[in-house]
Amino acid sequence: MNEFISKIKDLNIGKIEEDASLRKYTTYRVGGIARCIAYPRNVACLVKLVRFLKMEEISYKLLGNGSNLLFSEKPYEGVLIRLSELDQIEFFGKNKIRVGAGVSLIKLSLLAAKKGYTGLEFASGIPGSVGGSVFMNAGAYKSDMGYVVERVKVLTPELKIIYLENKEMDFHYRSSFLQKHRDYICLEVIIKLQKGNKDAIAEVIRERRQRRIESQPLEFPSAGSVFRNPEGNFAGKLIEDVGLKGKVQGGAMVSDKHANFIINCQDASSDDVKYLIDLCHDTVLETYGIDMKIEQEFVNWE
């Protein structure tokens, strides 16, 4: 691996971080060591890096804000790519924003609100990057990225840069074209909003933030909702009904404030978190026959 890292450094594509703790890069604050994290300076550097990794048959993965990932405690031997340098935000036309994949979705939503644009209020509490949020079709309050994304600039597996229009992105509930075609990389997004009343927009964001503070364990590291709500039901209620609210494993706990959150309350390990995820899933399945869909992606557990 050290030889490959040396070659990656020779590419001069941007910052390279070695043997980094993934606790710093995931919202659960758990995980092992990443042997190599690369930060391409721009799209050209990203293309150069991915071409090299493909040629050398080195595994790689895009890492946004780590808000929906659960890495194991094992070292990640491939290359993690962070697009935090793709951070441009440009307002243009009457109501459009051109935004890089590495921008914080919360930052973008608050900036849009400050400028009097409505449509992104739902995103003011979603702790992901714009690229990761498009990948997941992140949403809340009966809205999601599919409602506001006009087009997406992507890097194809053949290392071509193309645009995908909203319909081509195949947005559905917590799903998109990118989830089904994981060798495509989101580079940039065009978002279309509407002009609104700044005070009214700010009030919506304030009310929702207060509601989150009252109902969610925001004071602890977590990855937000662990399970999607089954149709006609609520994952948190199902977990509570089977008696697992407040269940502790090592340093992790099924939140006693909201049972669809698993929190790192005392230096938890990845294994602690995964144990509770599996326990909640399997117990609800055995009790009610409901196969709850897990929101988080398990990485490096093979």
Own/partner pairs, 270-275, CB within 8 angstroms, 24+ separation? 270/28, 270/30, 270/31, 270/32, 270/70, 270/71, 270/72, 270/73, 271/72, 271/73, 272/30, 273/28, 273/30, 273/70, 274/70, 274/72, 274/298, 274/301, 275/249, 275/250
Annotated active-site residue 295? The verdict is yes
**Residue 211 CB coordination number (10 Å):** 12
Looking at the DSSP bridge assignments, the partners of residue 33 are 21
Annotated active-site residue 182? The verdict is no
Choosing from 84, 104, 176, 225, which is the catalytic residue?
A: 225
Let me know if 144 is exposed, middle or buried by CB neighbors in 10 A (0-12, 13-18, 19+).
Answer: buried
Positive or negative: CA dihedral 101, 106, 110, 113: positive
Q: How many CA atoms lie within 13 A of 14 on its CB side?
A: 20
**126 residue type, one letter:** I
Choosing from 98, 174, 208, 212, which is the catalytic residue?
A: 174
The gap from C-alpha 107 to its chain's centroid, in whole angstroms, comes to: 14
**116 residue type, one letter:** G
Annotated active-site residue 174? The verdict is yes
Q: For 75, list phi and psi in degrees, rounded to 5.
A: -60, 140
Q: Which DSSP state fits 7?
A: H
The gap from C-alpha 81 to its chain's centroid, in whole angstroms, comes to: 14
Choosing from 85, 121, 188, 295, which is the catalytic residue?
A: 295
Just list the catalytic residues.
174, 225, 295
